[in-house]
Amino acid sequence: TQLLEQSPQFLSIQEGENLTVYCNSSSVFSSLQWYRQEPGEGPVLLVTVVTGGEVKKLKRLTFQFGDARKDSSLHITAAQPGDTGLYLCAGGTGGSNYKLTFGKGTLLTVNP
């Protein structure tokens, strides 16, 4: 069974601070997706990374896929209250995403 460990589980910071959340596994994934989930809603895809060492930026969010494709990180610069939510990483195998393995998530709260 493939597992994705996310850390930290909870993170509460002040507006304007920087933060990094991690997604680690002992298994190799062919792709890694990051989703954000707000209360009462389903997850929404932020980014997909597929190449070892790949870095993608989405405004103030920077995503990196580890060289060995076993881990990923999400860095947020100058966090804003609108960044509050549950961040989930999900790994795909075999070049497909139809049986994703989800991490347990990092619950981020950004206080004004």
Partner 1 sequence: NAGVTQTPKFRILKIGQSMTLQCTQDMNHNYMYWYRQDPGMGLKLIYYSVGAGITDKGEVPNGYNVSRSTTEDFPLRLELAAPSQTSVYFCASSRNSDSNQPQHFGDGTRLSIL
Binding mask 72-101 for partner 1 (x = CB under 8 A): ----------------x-x-x--xxxxxx-
Per residue in 76-109, is it b (16+ CB within 10 Å) or e — as a string?
beebeeebbbbbbbbbbbeeeeeebbebebbbbe
Binding mask 21-60 for partner 1 (x = CB under 8 A): ---------xx-x------xxxxxx--x-x----------
Q: What's the closest the beta carbon of residue 95 comes to partner 1, in angstroms? A: 6
Binding mask 9-28 for partner 1 (x = CB under 8 A): x-------------------
Torsion of CA 89, 93, 95, 98, to 10 degrees: -70
Q: What are the residues whose beta carbons fall under 8 Å from the beta carbon of 58, sequence distance 6 or more?
A: 46, 47
Q: Which residues make up the interface to partner 1 (CB under 8 A)? A: 9, 30-31, 33, 40-45, 48, 50, 88, 90, 92, 95-100, 102-105
